[in-house]
Structures are given as structure tokens and as C-alpha cells.
Amino acid sequence: MKYCKKCVQPDTRPRIYFNEDGVCGACLWKEEKKTIDWEARRQELQGIADWAKKEAKKRGTYDCVLGVSGGKDTTFTSLYARDRLGLNCLLVNAWPEQMTEIGRYNIENLCKLGFDIINIKTNPRVMRKIIRDDFFKRGNLNISTEYTIWSSAYRVAMEHKVPLIIQGENEALTLGASEGQTRDGEATQVYKNNTLSGVNAFQRYADCEGVSRKDLFLYNFPDPGLLDRIGIRAYYLEFYINEWDQVGNAEFSIKHGLKIREDDLSELGSVQKFCALDSDLWLVNQLIKYYKLGFGYATDEACYEIREGRITREEGFELVRKYDGKCGEKYIKKACDYIGITTDIFWREIEKWRGPMWRRDSGGSWTLKND
């Protein structure tokens, strides 16, 4: 594996971009941020918000829809949209499978901060079949949840003819994985992001046993052409405001009542305690990702910390070595019980997904091939 010269971004991340000096797309975005006229961007965003308010008045609806998990980024984005842009917001929450107590608390907290929220909970029997299918065929526990999270805001906006959708992070910027993705503020095509890769749910689950097309309505992303015809626009907040920052968003949200995890970091495989607050399956998914791609969420977080100048690159590597690929036994057991397998089958299955960046030493243990 090769790493970015400035952070700990590995070259095994799908669609990752490096320039000729070996610097990753996310670090380049961090540099680019210094040259942007942020006041002009903010005014552009205010212009979009003012357009939405005018349109909403004509249509007799909300100004904007936000898809929320209740976590750090969506709490920050919701409050920014309302308090800074003056938007009348409708929040939409698609329940992830294995919703945590903290996740429920945070959604309730967001509601109490003064928002209308629509909760979407899909049929758990269908969800379970899909997640099992994803586990065995794709080595992933998270795809189905991403479908409902991403598509729900767009579906609700369409139903109520709400003119504007605001998303928080554009991962093409923050993760630097921009090949084939737009690096601007426009967010009507979020279904092209890494996990969904432009494949709609009807296509992906066409051969999923016991699941038919009619079961997948809420999973399927609406046709972008349809959004256009109704007059719905969608934008990433991150593109327009300089203060977008993972830790900053968390600190802001904690001040507004966000509850974070209490586990040891090695149970979470993470550098911070505010990852995936609403879903335990997600933690196990990061472990599987570690087998597949040679890195987990601690890598992402270490990269953010390095770019913000809070830690050095060496300290970043140390965190990665310490936490990547770690996941509490209780979470693995819970995921196995959910899909109806033993932990032995779990380990055997995920071994099949081990990527080519791993090598086995003479003692039989696996290490990453690092250049």
C-alpha cells in the first residue's frame, strides 16, 4: 500500500485521486480551501436559500428537506440551515438497522431543538434479507441502509414539492475519492457516491432471494430528471462554508445536546467517540472494510486530524495501527445473530474478502504490504 505524502490516506481507497507528488485529493482540497473566496460562496448559498424561500411560498411547502441521522454532521447542518440561512426545514430520518439507544436519543434531541421530523422505517423482514444478501455476495453490511438514508430526503422532497435539499458532506471533497464524482456543491446525484456507485436498488437486489421489486420502493433513488422537472435543487453545505470540519461539527453538536458513544476506542475501531452513533452494524462493516481494503475508519479520522493540524502524520500512523480493524466482540456477535450465522462463519466469510494488499508471514499472521 502507498500512502499520501501529507496524511495517511491509502491508495487502496476506491476512486482515490493522487497528484504527481503523491498528495491525495482530500489534502489538495484542504489546500484549495485556502484560496477560495468564502464570503462569495456564502453569498451564493444565501442566494440559493432565498430562491428556495420564494419558491416554497409559491408552492405552499417547506423551504428545504434535510436527510438526518441525528449525528454530528446532520445536527450541525440542520441548525446551520435554519439559524444561519433562515430556512424552514423538514427533516427526514431513515432508521438504520440496529438503531442504537444513542441514535434514538439524538434524533429526539434534534426534534427538541425545534424541527419537524419524518421518520421512515422500512420493513425489517425485507431489510434483514437484503443485509444477509449483501454480506454473503458483497461483503458489506451497510449498502441497504445507505440506500434508504440517501433516497429518503429526495423522495420526501418530491412528494411535498420542496424546492431545496441540503446535504452536509461531499465525500468527493472530504475523502478525496473523486474519480467520476462531482467536486462542486451540486448534490442531485448523490447515488453515484462510493457505496452505491450509481447502481439503483432494483438492479442490485434483482436476484435477492425472497425480495421483489415492490419491496424496494423506499430503497430506490428517484430519477434525477424527475427532480429537475419538479424544480428541486440539491446542494452540499460543505462546498459553501469554510468552517465545515468533522471535530468542529461534533463540538458544536455536543453543545446542542448530541450524545456520543462511551465505549473504549478499540471497541469502536475509531479515533473519536462520535462515529456511527446510530448504527452498530456500521462498526462491523468497518472491520470488513479493513479486510477488503486494508484500512478502516480510524484511517479516515486520523486523516481529518492531520489535515486540521491537530496531530502529526506520524501520530496519525500510530492511531491507525492501534485502532484500524478493531471491533468489539459484542458488536460482531450482534451482527451475526442478526443475519443468522455463527461467528465462525462470519470470520470464514470475511476472510474470503481479504484484499491483495495483505501478505501472510512465515508465522501465518497477516500484515499489510506497505511500501
Residues from 315 through 334 that contact Zn ion (CB under 5 A): none
Phi and psi at residue 93, in whole multiples of 5°? Answer: -120, 120
Which one-letter DSSP state was computed for residue 186? B
Residues from 31 through 60 that contact Zn ion (CB under 5 A): none
Give the interface segment with Zn ion, choosing from 20-28, 141-149, 224-232, 346-354 (CB under 5 A).
Answer: 20-28
User: Using the rule CB under 5 A, which residue among 10, 13, 16, 27 binds Zn ion?
Assistant: 27
Give the interface segment with Zn ion, choosing from 16-24, 50-58, 161-169, 189-197 (CB under 5 A).
Answer: 16-24
- Give me the least distance between CB of 16 and Zn ion, in Å please: 9
Packing angle between helix 281-293 and helix 329-339, nearest 10 degrees? Answer: 100
Give the interface segment with Zn ion, choosing from 8-16, 178-186, 189-197, 321-329 (CB under 5 A).
Answer: 8-16
C-beta of 41 vs 313, nearer to Zn ion: 313
Which one, of 290, 294, 301, 287, lies nearest residue 336 by Cα?
A: 287
C-beta of 5 vs 53, nearer to Zn ion: 5
- Give me the least distance between CB of 299 and Zn ion, in Å please: 11
- Give the integer Cα–Cα distance in Å for 282 and 276: 7
- Give me the least distance between CB of 77 and Zn ion, in Å please: 24
Give the binding-site size for Zn ion (rule: CB under 5 A). 6
C-beta of 175 vs 287, nearer to Zn ion: 175
- Give the integer Cα–Cα distance in Å for 132 and 123: 15
9 sits near Zn ion (criterion: CB under 5 A): yes
- Give me the least distance between CB of 295 and Zn ion, in Å please: 13
C-beta of 110 vs 302, nearer to Zn ion: 302
User: Using the rule CB under 5 A, which residue among 10, 13, 18, 24 binds Zn ion?
Assistant: 24
Amino acid identity, position 71: G
C-beta of 122 vs 170, nearer to Zn ion: 170
CB contact set of 104 (below 8 Å; sequence gap of 6+): 278
Give the interface segment with Zn ion, choosing from 7-15, 76-84, 98-106, 290-298 (CB under 5 A).
Answer: 7-15
The order of strands in the sheet holding 233-236 is 116-120, 89-94, 64-67, 164-167, 233-236
220 sits near Zn ion (criterion: CB under 5 A): no
- Give the integer Cα–Cα distance in Å for 264 and 287: 16
CB contact set of 269 (below 8 Å; sequence gap of 6+): 283, 286, 287, 290, 296, 297, 298, 323, 324, 325, 326, 327
User: Using the rule CB under 5 A, which residue among 3, 7, 181, 220 binds Zn ion?
Assistant: 7
Give the interface segment with Zn ion, choosing from 21-29, 61-69, 196-204, 329-337 (CB under 5 A).
Answer: 21-29
CB contact set of 82 (below 8 Å; sequence gap of 6+): 88, 89, 114, 115
Grid cell listed for 197? 456507485
Give the interface segment with Zn ion, choosing from 5-13, 104-112, 124-132, 287-295 (CB under 5 A).
Answer: 5-13
- Region of 289 on the Ramachandran plot (φ > 0 left; ψ -120 to 50 alpha; else beta): alpha
Grid cell listed for 13? 481507497
- Give me the least distance between CB of 30 and Zn ion, in Å please: 8
- Give the integer Cα–Cα distance in Å for 360 and 31: 38
- Give me the least distance between CB of 301 and Zn ion, in Å please: 13
- Give the integer Cα–Cα distance in Å for 9 and 3: 5
C-beta of 9 vs 246, nearer to Zn ion: 9
Give the interface segment with Zn ion, choosing from 3-11, 85-93, 177-185, 281-289 (CB under 5 A).
Answer: 3-11
C-beta of 33 vs 54, nearer to Zn ion: 33
Give me the residues that bind Zn ion (CB under 5 A), please.
4, 6-7, 9, 24, 27
